[in-house]
Amino acid sequence: MFRPENAQSLVGLAATVLVCWALSEQKRKFPWRLTIGAVTVQVGLVLMLFGLPGAQNVIAGINDGVDGLASATAQGTQFVFGYMGGGAQPYVVANNGALFVFAFQVLPLILVISALSALLWHWKILKWITRGFGFIFQKTMGLGGASALAVAANIFLGMIESPIVIRAYLDKLSRSELFLMMVVGLATVAGSTMVAYATILKAVLPNAAAHVLVASIVSAPAGVLLARIMIPEKDGKGGAYADYTSMLKYDSSIDAISKGTMDGLTVVLNISAILIVFVALVAIGNGLLSNFGDVLGEPLTLERILGVLFQPLAWAMGVHWDEAYKAGYLLGVKLMLTEFIAFIQLGAIPEGDMTERTRMIMTYALCGFANVGSVGITVSGMGVLMPERRNEIIGMVWKALIAGFLATCMTAAVVGAMPRELFGQ
């Protein structure tokens, strides 16, 4: 059933496209066909998982899979860390809520998923899934083979790992294709972090695992569209052919597990360091703002400022105005800090303090690597792979951040425009 809230989300869909068009290098070259195609692909992918007969069985399978991975990871964590990792407590516990330690009960999931992803890639299972999505993007949105494969790889791999898949074709990519790859990398998340996000949200959002998975998949065509709007492909350029012979290879299953684990450890260390530093920086910022005294009866904080700045955007995505301030703050946290911190804070909001619809919309809006910290990661990571194009990457990376951030907002708006009955609400 179509409601006013669904029409409200259409405002957000139009707004994200208009902002990118305003920043376009060629405003007269608007990709109408791609716009229709990208939105159609997004709607189709959402309907495929949530609307088709038997979809609930698929959703239940995804949630059970995440629970199984979390349970298996917990056994390994408890073996290494004992009671600190959730094992039997050697003393009487007065506050069970204090037993949850993020470093021991969420971050280890990234190690396991990273190793499992590498193993599935070596066994060619993940490789064929990626090829399937690459074929869909190539046929529905007119991408060149190399670009289509990179976009598909971004759904399951990281924003730095996916260019390795097409490393042999990087020097052949046009400027528009290079920008597109950067945007999609910032608009999606890696498989190693999806399970962690789902674990954080599962207590407060039904079918959290399915929503997180769909969010990363559906944001890929949104990233393609907004990238093409901002830096359109020049006539006669682009379309680099890819024969799907990947440069990402492992010598054996053991090699895949070992290297996947080491890659996961790098991600865990980066996330841990970023969380410590950025949480500390927010505390410093709030300490400085406290010198201004109360504003409208409350202390001035970064949270309040971000909430006000992004409140209209949150409303445009379909969030009720009463919750738009809180949702806007989460958008600001995602952009200025990281999506990990934003997901942690979203998961910490009690069920009664935020509606299920708003929480679902925000899950899609937050599910992307588009944050200020990722700018440095993009420049350094892609600069190593393409040293001769480093200056070109630097010149486009801030535009890519804007497009990647808006791509997840566009995805949230598309989901918000669909009837809530589709999601069992």
Spell out the residues 6+ positions from residue 282 whose beta carbon is closer than 8 angstroms to its own: 302, 337
Residues above pLDDT 70, as percent of the chain: 89
**Cα Rg, the chain, nearest whole Å:** 21
Task: Please check the confidence at residue 152 and state whether its pLDDT lies above 70.
Answer: yes
Among 171, 161, 174, 178, which Cα is nearest to 126's? 161
What mean pLDDT is predicted for residues 11-20?
Answer: 93
HSE of 170, CA atoms in CB hemisphere, 13 A: 24
Tokens 């379309």 -> residue: 239
DSSP per-residue codes, 5-23? HHHHHHHHHHHHHHHHHHT
pLDDT band of 127, cuts 50, 70, 90 = confident
DSSP 232: P
User: At residue 203, what is the residue type?
Assistant: A
CB atoms within 10 A of CB 306: 21
Secondary structure (3-state) at 86 = coil
What mean pLDDT is predicted for residues 130-157?
Answer: 74
For residue 298, the cross-strand partners are: 295
DSSP 97: G
- d(Cα 96, Cα 312) in Å, to the nearest integer? 38
pLDDT, one tens digit per residue, over 172-226 is 788 888 898 899 989 988 776 787 888 888 888 888 888 888 888 889 899 999 9
What mean pLDDT is predicted for residues 73-100?
Answer: 74
pLDDT band of 235, cuts 50, 70, 90 = low
CB 223 within 8 A of CB 183: yes
pLDDT band of 243, cuts 50, 70, 90 = low
H helix or E strand, kind and range, residue 255: helix 253-289
CB 8 within 8 A of CB 316: yes
pLDDT, one tens digit per residue, over 320-337 is 999 999 999 999 889 887
Q: Output the average pLDDT for the chain.
A: 82
Q: Where are the alpha helices (DSSP H) in 51-144?
A: 55-81, 102-105, 107-122, 125-141
Q: What b/e readout covers 93-116, taking b as 16+ CB neighbours within 10 angstroms?
A: eeeeeeeeeeebbbbbbbbbbbbb
* Sign of the dihedral defined by the CA atoms of residues 386, 388, 390, 392, in that order: negative
Residues above pLDDT 90, as percent of the chain: 24
Residues in the chain: 425
Which pLDDT does position 239 carry in this prediction? 56
Highest mean pLDDT among 237-251, 263-277, 289-303, 386-400: 386-400
Among 50, 399, 91, which Cα is nearest to 230's? 399
Task: Please check the confidence at residue 83 and state whether its pLDDT lies above 80.
Answer: no
HSE of 164, CA atoms in CB hemisphere, 13 A: 11
- d(Cα 15, Cα 412) in Å, to the nearest integer? 12
Task: Please check the confidence at residue 23 and state whether its pLDDT lies above 90.
Answer: yes
CB 12 within 8 A of CB 362: no
Task: Please check the confidence at residue 246 and state whether its pLDDT lies above 70.
Answer: no
Question: Structure pTM?
Answer: 0.82
Crossing angle between the packed helical segments 107-122 and 253-289, to the nearest 10 degrees: 150
Among 296, 260, 274, 423, which Cα is nearest to 355's? 423
Which pLDDT does position 231 carry in this prediction? 92
Better-predicted residue by pLDDT, 403 or 104: 403
pLDDT band of 145, cuts 50, 70, 90 = low
Tokens 């400027």 -> residue: 175
Spell out the residues 6+ positions from residue 404 whose beta carbon is closer than 8 angstroms to its own: 182, 183, 184, 185, 186, 187, 223, 368, 369, 370
- d(Cα 185, Cα 152) in Å, to the nearest integer? 10
CB atoms within 10 A of CB 288: 11
- d(Cα 355, Cα 104) in Å, to the nearest integer? 29
pLDDT band of 96, cuts 50, 70, 90 = low
Which pLDDT does position 14 carry in this prediction? 93
